[in-house]
């Protein structure tokens, strides 16, 4: 295809069991003016041979001789793209037949929007994954739809399902593409940068079936991703909230999440003046040289901004800070 409007970019690594269904879900779109760019990232399970045998003029294939990681595959795929819009797709997910049509229509009608995601339907092929996990993913990705809602939610976590997004190619290059130092959370960091450049939106229809794997639920994988997330959040905090004269942060939550964000902030030279925690067993102890106090002692600290770094205690922390006159997004934000 000479001048496609959309370039669908699909990185692939050892995806033989699912890739045929995924590819067909793109080839059977109601919107026809697209190309499908598949980057094989050094597969060794027969995926490479399968891709070589596909005969469809809409498909562009590129093969890495070795596994380089998803960031390299994504950036390579987009460098080959002819379309003005880039649609992400993963090799194990399934797109609704109307997905591309709906997203192109939205971007055409909303020139101030630079990226549009969709709601998702989560599913799995693994019987060991409980229904509650599928519901948790679906509930999380199906919240925050307007630009304002997305920007308030991004500090807590990535609320945009990566393989559901479509964005303007020129916007991608203007903000610098995907960054390899954030691999495992490259999408999260990319969305945060994009949110500062232009408006984001999420279509309320589930236009992608998102496959959940047990690897995503492993404690080792989650911990690695959490460390990278903390690094991304620290950069976000520094750029958005550590303005001149407002550089003293207080962290609410001295558990694992609080320690992770503290270390990430410290690496950026950001001053943390204290910790607050409701757990009596943590109070009066120290993180490095910094004292952990109870909420009633918050006035002891000279702080400009509060980072809520606890999931279970988030609602209590927000309520307590609001009772002191502090406002969400102005004097505090949650990050977990």
On whether both 276 and 199 belong to a single domain, the answer is: no
Q: Which of 87, 74, 107, 75 is nearest to 36 (CA)?
A: 87
Instruction: Note the pLDDT of residue 22.
Output: 99
Q: Which of 131-140, 157-166, 235-244 has the lowest mean pLDDT?
A: 235-244
User: Measured in whole angstroms, how far is the alpha carbon of residue 308 from the centre of its chain?
Assistant: 19
* CATH at 320: 3.40.50.720
If one compares 241 and 210, the residue with the highest pLDDT of the two is 210
On whether both 258 and 182 belong to a single domain, the answer is: no
On whether both 253 and 109 belong to a single domain, the answer is: no
pLDDT tens-place string over residues 21-73: 999 999 999 999 999 999 999 999 999 999 999 999 999 999 999 999 999 99
Residue 163 has pLDDT above 80, yes or no: yes
pLDDT tens-place string over residues 165-188: 999 999 999 999 999 999 999 999
Measuring CA to CA, how many Å separate 333 from each of 252, 259, 264? Answer: 10, 16, 16
Domain limits for position 84: 6-215
Q: Which residue has the tokens 């490095």?
A: 288
Residue 1 has pLDDT above 90, yes or no: no
If one compares 4 and 242, the residue with the highest pLDDT of the two is 4
* CATH at 143: 3.90.550.10
Q: What is the pTM of this model?
A: 0.93
Q: Considering the domain boundaries, does residue 226 fall inside one?
A: no
Q: Considering the domain boundaries, does residue 222 fall inside one?
A: no
On whether both 171 and 258 belong to a single domain, the answer is: no
Q: Considering the domain boundaries, does residue 233 fall inside one?
A: no
On whether both 196 and 318 belong to a single domain, the answer is: no
Q: Is 23 exposed, middle or buried, given 0-12, 13-18 or 19+ CB atoms closer than 10 A? A: buried
Instruction: Note the pLDDT of residue 240.
Output: 82
Distance CA 237, CA 305 (A): 10
**Number of folded domains in the chain?**
2
């Amino acid at each position: 295809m000479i001048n496609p409007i959309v370039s669908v970019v699909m990185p692939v690594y050892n995806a033989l069991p699912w890739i045929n269904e995924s590819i067909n879900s793109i080839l059977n779109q109601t919107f026809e003016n697209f190309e499908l760019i598949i980057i094989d990232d050094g597969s060794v399970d027969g995926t490479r041979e399968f891709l070589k045998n596909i005969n469809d003029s809409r498909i562009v294939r590129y093969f890495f001789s070795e596994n380089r990681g998803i960031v390299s595959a994504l950036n390579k795929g987009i460098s080959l793209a002819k379309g003005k819009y880039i649609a992400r797709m993963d090799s194990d997910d399934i797109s609704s037949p109307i997905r591309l049509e709906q997203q192109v229509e939205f971007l055409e009608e909303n020139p101030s929007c630079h990226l549009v995601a969709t709601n998702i339907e989560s599913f799995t092929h693994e019987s060991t994954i409980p229904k509650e996990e599928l519901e948790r993913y679906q509930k999380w990705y199906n919240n925050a739809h307007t630009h304002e809602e997305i920007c308030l939610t991004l500090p807590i976590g990535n609320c945009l399902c990566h393989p559901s997004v479509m964005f303007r190619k020129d916007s991608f290059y203007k903000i610098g593409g995907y960054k390899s130092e954030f691999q495992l959370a490259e999408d999260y960091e990319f969305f945060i940068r994009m949110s500062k450049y232009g408006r984001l939106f999420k279509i309320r229809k589930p236009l992608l079936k998102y496959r959940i794997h047990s690897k995503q639920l492993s404690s080792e994988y989650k911990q690695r991703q959490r460390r990278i997330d903390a690094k991304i959040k620290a950069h976000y905090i520094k750029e958005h909230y550590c303005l001149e004269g407002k550089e003293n942060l207080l962290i609410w939550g001295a558990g694992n999440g609080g320690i992770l964000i503290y270390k990430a902030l410290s690496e950026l030279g950001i001053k943390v003046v204290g910790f607050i925690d409701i757990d009596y067993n943590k109070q009066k102890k120290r993180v490095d040289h910094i004292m952990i106090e109870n909420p009633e002692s918050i006035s002891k600290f000279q702080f400009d901004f509060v980072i809520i770094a606890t999931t279970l205690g988030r609602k209590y922390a927000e309520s307590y800070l609001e009772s002191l006159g502090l406002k969400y997004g102005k004097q505090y934000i949650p990050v977990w």
